Chain A
Amino acid sequence: MEALLIEGDTILAAFWMTIRLTAVSALGSLVLGTLLTAMRVAPLAALRAAAGTYVSVARNTPLTLVLLFTGLGVGANLGVELSDDIATNNFWLACIGLTAYTSAFVCEALRSGLNTVPVGQAEAARSLGLGFVKTLRLITLPQAFRAVVAPLGSILIALTKNTTIALVVGVSEASVRMREMIETYGDQVIQIFLGFAAGFVLLCLPMGLLFGWLSRRMAVAR
């Protein structure tokens, strides 16, 4: 146990990085996922096709590949620099990769949510003179969001755990810290594993509870 106690501060710092990766990528995925959803139902066929292709590619590519692509492809090869500080640069590259990947899942969840909104809601909105964007923004998407709160919660939990793959871009989040500790404290591997696993459960369990509660609270009565 003492390894976990001695390294308490560095473990917390590593989990703090996990939380930051999760928070930024979650926000990014929500925005990009919503945009993709709007594109997938847009009146313009080109927009629908573009979003559909994007979702198919991002959803069916392993996250490790996506992150390697952002790290090595976008970062190293194309030389995209988001910050002078290498750690900060890697952080943002990881967030881009995680967002690119997760937004495809958010899009699919939201699209299934849109399908639960009766067609009459959009017809009523259009008959008042609301255009495509306002109908989506004011009427159909808000109801779609409320319908998919629980699946969005699952996506957030998956994202939290997926941040461990940011190690391939060189971000020192919880799983990197765990590996380092296993090398230093070779006699306490099991305890270290259990400690970090508990950390993730502690992080994810409240999310599940919160989203379960939210989905009941926000459900639209029909």
Chain B
Amino acid sequence: MTQEALIVLDRVNKRFGDHHVLRDVDLTVSKGEVVVIIGPSGAGKSTLCRAINRLETIDAGTITVDGTPLPAEGKALARLRAEVGMVFQSFNLFAHKTVLDNVVLGQVHVLKRPKDAAERKARELLDRVGIGGQAAKYPAQLSGGQQQRVAIARALAMDPKVILFDEPTSALDPEMVNEVLEVMTALARDGMTMVVVTHEMGFARRAADRVVFMADGEIVEQDTPDGFFTAPGSERAQSFLAKILTH
């Protein structure tokens, strides 16, 4: 793995009213690295993930993506977002567009690819995530697992520098979790830079280069999956792991 920094968060702070959701968060994600963020609910994991493409604004600190500070708004921000893929907990596929059009839309309207090239790429990606046969259907006709795989294909179609996953399996029925995790694991293996907020500890162990543990808006500790899961350093991480791993 190269050590070139792709995303750098420096003393990032955010408040929702009295609630201090992000406290002095420093985080660096290198090119090709898979960073999994875990922690109890309300720890600020999703807010952190959404702040990286400015779906959530921050109050203080800086976020830099590939050397460029996150623009405040306008065309520059749109350009940056096109380079940062995002996969949501609730899929958010465009409900009035077919599966194929969902994957084509960004390529044509943002990257200005010709329609036929965009369709070819979309079909390749849909095949890659195992739903090539569903291209003509609408999102509501697909299962949750299939929808989330389309969402991953939609993000991949933009050739992003990094993909952010905001609890991608939390809204899925248990039997559909694995089909999504398998696609994500394959992506990680292929060298995609990924920031993944998840409760799937198995995925963290298997696919992560680094596990970041957050609680109360702070990064409490970070380590390799092996290091973190076998010997967590902080008391909060120990109690968190004790709670989820004893069942």
Contact = CB atoms under 8 A, between A and B. Distances in A.
Interface in B52-108: 53, 55, 73-75, 78-86, 88, 90-96, 105-106
Interface string A158-170: 0000000000000
B140 A128 contact: no
B158 A121 contact: no
B109 interface: yes
A130 B96 contact: no
B55 A127 contact: yes
A120 B158 contact: no
A188 B88 CA distance: 69
Contacts of B14: none
Interface residues of A, number: 22
Contact of A143 (B82, B92, B95): B95
Given A120-B92, A143-B96, A220-B95, A127 B75 contact: no
Interface string A110-134: 0000000010110111111111001
A128 B96 contact: no
B154 interface: yes
A129 B96 contact: no
A138 B105 CA distance: 9
B110 A129 contact: yes
A123 B88 contact: yes
B81 A128 contact: yes
Interface string B100-137: 00000110011000000000000000000000000000
Given A129-B78, A130-B109, A120 B88 contact: yes
A24 B174 CA distance: 55
B81 A127 contact: yes
A142 interface: yes
A131 B91 CA distance: 20
B240 interface: no
Given A120-B90, A128-B81, A128-B110, A221 B105 contact: no
B106 A222 contact: no
A123 B55 contact: yes
B14 to A, nearest CB: 17
A124 B97 CA distance: 13
B158 A129 contact: yes
A134 B75 CA distance: 12
A125 B158 CA distance: 12
24 contacts: A118-B90, A118-B92, A120-B92, A121-B95, A123-B55, A123-B88, A124-B92, A126-B55, A126-B81, A127-B84, A127-B86, A128-B81, A128-B158, A129-B79, A129-B83, A129-B158, A130-B78, A130-B106, A130-B109, A139-B94, A143-B96, A220-B96, A221-B140, A222-B140
> What are the 3 tightest A-B residue pairs by CB atom distance, in nearest-first order?
A129-B82, A221-B140, A120-B92
